[in-house]
Amino acid sequence: MDKKMIGSRSIRFATSPYIVGSYSLVGKKEGEGPLSCYFDEIEEDPMFGGETWEEAESRLQYRTANKALENSGYKQEEIRYLVAGDLLGQLIATSFGVMDLQIPLFGIYGACSTMGESMSLGAALVEGGFADKVMALTSSHFAGAEKQFRFPLDYGNQRPLAATWTVTGSGAVIIVSEEEMRKHKEKNNPQEPYISITGITTGKVLDFGVKDAMNMGACMAPAACDVIYHNLKDFNYKPDEYDKIITGDLGYVGKDILLDMLKEKGYDIASRYLDCGIEIFNKEEQDTHSGGSGCGCSASTLTGYILKKMKKKEWKKVLFVPTGALLSPVSFNEGNSVPGIAHGVVLEVEQ
Amino acid sequence: MDKKMIGSRSIRFATSPYIVGSYSLVGKKEGEGPLSCYFDEIEEDPMFGGETWEEAESRLQYRTANKALENSGYKQEEIRYLVAGDLLGQLIATSFGVMDLQIPLFGIYGACSTMGESMSLGAALVEGGFADKVMALTSSHFAGAEKQFRFPLDYGNQRPLAATWTVTGSGAVIIVSEEEMRKHKEKNNPQEPYISITGITTGKVLDFGVKDAMNMGACMAPAACDVIYHNLKDFNYKPDEYDKIITGDLGYVGKDILLDMLKEKGYDIASRYLDCGIEIFNKEEQDTHSGGSGCGCSASTLTGYILKKMKKKEWKKVLFVPTGALLSPVSFNEGNSVPGIAHGVVLEVEQ
């Protein structure tokens, strides 16, 4: 039994849960960025047909989930569990967004690391034999997040250069057992390589005392460093084991801190490092300062970009590390620091 | 593999994760209620030595976690995962509360059903072989919850009779594999019976359109009914299989609705039904109207009362069903209904 637990912080999955369907849906601004051609769908209407920002995000999440189901060929009643969350207080985008799916729900909160957490738990539920099919889902919405965490958009508030731009986007993956994957493959894509989740490294809350909610990259970099370091140690890998090591939303500021911190610990990952927040926007043209952020940033970049690169075998093995800043409007206003957390997921494409 | 999945919504654990340590810590008012003699600790200071209500709840959660560790004889670094959450926006009581434990964290949100969700996921992680020891932890604080969801205490706002009183309390359990339990038993309590988690039934979001956040019992009763109904169906049990079927915080109003709904579905559970929210306060003397509520209500009643009754073998088999109302201040102010969710955990004491 112990063989699944690797080192102090990681799991190696023996039968590798597989991803058999996914979907990425983003907003207009994200659709104008460098990953434009990769996203499955771009919605021009920031309200997604809803009447409030929260309803907009619920609709964004619901449509993404439904399209991922369509994409996988499964019906909603076939999915044993939904592991989902968002950035808003009391997961309100998820609570209202997934209601109509009527799939048993584990609601989770990991700030912008949520996609890593949902995939970790989803893969464990499948690998443990507790589910044959699980959906991992998350989202964020620029306007909902600004309203929740910062200032109403109408203020036209200025943003410092260290600030990131919350991505309007959602990503969903359907994770299934090896047996289900074989059936799926036979029926749908016998020639296509499938991507498996071969391991996870789970993060803990780390607080370096940074109190600037407009510099979340700095708040989250230590947590990302901790997870990447333990992943490499637990699996006994050198960084070049991975074609890419991809964090969620450290942005330009957090990236530099992460690379420095890992170098101090003896790991130089610069040549294979990417950050979803950096990839998703064009810094010069889109005025997004340090990059993109939000649960939807890593979720839509994974499902829109990373998985597609892997399907083409341009990248064969990826360490995906969504990163989260653990603040609330209350904790921030009370003068607290912003702790960080990160969750690592090892992805491999079939050879 | 499929044998673990029972019916459409439940899991039967093959090797039964065990609870080897627990702790219940509550506030002054809870300590004056009918369960007074059962709680492990009662704290008179509503601030728990902190400076804000949020810090108070973080300290409440941290102390509970530490005492549960002490109680189990494990060190914090031996715990593989912490599955924890609270009621506040962005889980701020947990984020700051558990930081110093430095245990890899899965943050979860299930409103007041959180203890059921954390025990479900914790038990699955242990049974799946992904962890030998997991802590499930949650809390709520009356003043923090009032501030977050309703009105600042200083307003002296009146409360309708259908309203419940958020419990200031926290509960933690340490869940371990059968192998670890045997070691623990030999070392600590060879004569004492241990309690195992033999199954779970996971809830989905159910919305009956109730818009009254001061009547959460009515909002959550359909979700509790759905979970209890599916638990009995999936395991092919009659209600008398259980010595007790115990919901989280339906209160007096929700209780009546639940019993009626289940009767309509052919199950009469009245003779073995309890609700933590009803048990924890004295309705006549404590002015708590419909009863107690909050993540801490079911968590502290479980660890303070239910587990102790089971250890004495007064109750041998219990279905524990914490219930959650999925609202946020934002969703409520935008005029949305209050959907509900519930998570069922089957507890059995060794014979």
Contact B330 A54 (CB under 8 A): yes
Residue type, B308: K
- The pLDDT > 70 percentage for chain B reads 99
Report yes or no on B237 lying in a domain. Answer: yes
Residues B231 and B173 reside in one and the same domain: no
Residue A138 CA to residue A251 CA, distance in Å, equals 20
Per-residue pLDDT tens digits for B318-343: 999 999 999 999 999 999 999 999 99
Report yes or no on B250 lying in a domain. Answer: yes
Q: Which of A144, A179, A214 is the last residue of a domain?
A: A179
Contact A2 B129 (CB under 8 A): yes
Residues A129 and A76 reside in one and the same domain: yes
The residue with greater pLDDT, B124 or B153, is B124
SS3 state at B305: helix
Report yes or no on A119 lying in a domain. Answer: yes
Residues A212 and A329 reside in one and the same domain: yes
User: Which two structure tokens, joined as six digits, stand for B237?
Assistant: 């049990």
Per-residue pLDDT tens digits for B256-302: 999 999 999 999 999 999 999 999 999 999 999 999 999 999 999 99
Cβ of residue B160 closer than 8 Å to a chain A Cβ = no
Please state the rounded mean pLDDT for residues B224-235: 98
Residues A173 and A250 reside in one and the same domain: no
Per-residue pLDDT tens digits for B24-82: 999 999 999 999 999 999 999 999 999 999 999 999 999 999 999 999 999 999 999 99
Residues A24 and A168 reside in one and the same domain: yes
Residues A223 and A148 reside in one and the same domain: no
Residues B203 and B105 reside in one and the same domain: no
Per-residue pLDDT tens digits for B142-181: 999 999 988 878 888 888 899 999 999 999 999 999 999 9
Write down the pLDDT at residue B302. 98
Q: Which of A138, A153, A179 is the last residue of a domain?
A: A179
Q: Which of B179, B211, B237 is the last residue of a domain?
A: B179
Torsion sign over Cα A135, A136, A141, A144 = positive
Best A176, A205, A210, A219 member to test B by mutation, with max B CBs in 10 Å, is A205
- The pLDDT > 90 percentage for chain B reads 91
Write down the pLDDT at residue A3. 75
Cβ of residue A331 closer than 8 Å to a chain B Cβ = yes
Per-residue pLDDT tens digits for A221-257: 999 999 999 999 999 999 999 999 999 999 999 999 9
Report yes or no on A188 lying in a domain. Answer: no
Write down the pLDDT at residue A300. 98
Among candidate residues B86, B96, B90, B98, the one with its CA nearest the CA of residue B52: B96
Residues A115 and A198 reside in one and the same domain: no
Residues A334 and A254 reside in one and the same domain: yes
The residues with which B178 forms a beta bridge, in sequence order, are none
Residue A189 CA to residue A204 CA, distance in Å, equals 38
Residues A163 and A228 reside in one and the same domain: no
Mean pLDDT (chain B) is 96
Contact A331 B203 (CB under 8 A): no
Contact B330 A203 (CB under 8 A): no
Report yes or no on A88 lying in a domain. Answer: yes
Residue type, B262: L
Going from the C-alpha of B255 to that of each of B39, B140, B252, B317, B342, the distances in angstroms are: 24, 21, 5, 21, 14
Nearest to B105 among A2, A92, A204 (CB): A204
Residues of chain A with pLDDT under 70: 1-2
Contact A4 B130 (CB under 8 A): yes
Number of domains in chain A: 2
Nearest to A90 among B102, B111, B203 (CB): B111
Residues A73 and A153 reside in one and the same domain: yes
CB atoms within 10 A of CB A49: 11
Contact A329 B102 (CB under 8 A): no
Report yes or no on B315 lying in a domain. Answer: yes
Interface of A with B in 172-231 (CB under 8 A): 177, 179, 202-207
Report yes or no on A12 lying in a domain. Answer: no
Report yes or no on B210 lying in a domain. Answer: yes
Name the phi and psi angles at A325, rounded to 5.
-105, 120
Q: Domain of B64: which CATH number?
A: 3.40.47.40
Write down the pLDDT at residue A158. 86
Please state the rounded mean pLDDT for residues B190-206: 96
Checking if the pLDDT of B123 tops 50, the result is: yes
Write down the pLDDT at residue A1. 43
Write down the pLDDT at residue B116. 98
Domain span at residue B16 reads 2-179
Residues A59 and A165 reside in one and the same domain: yes
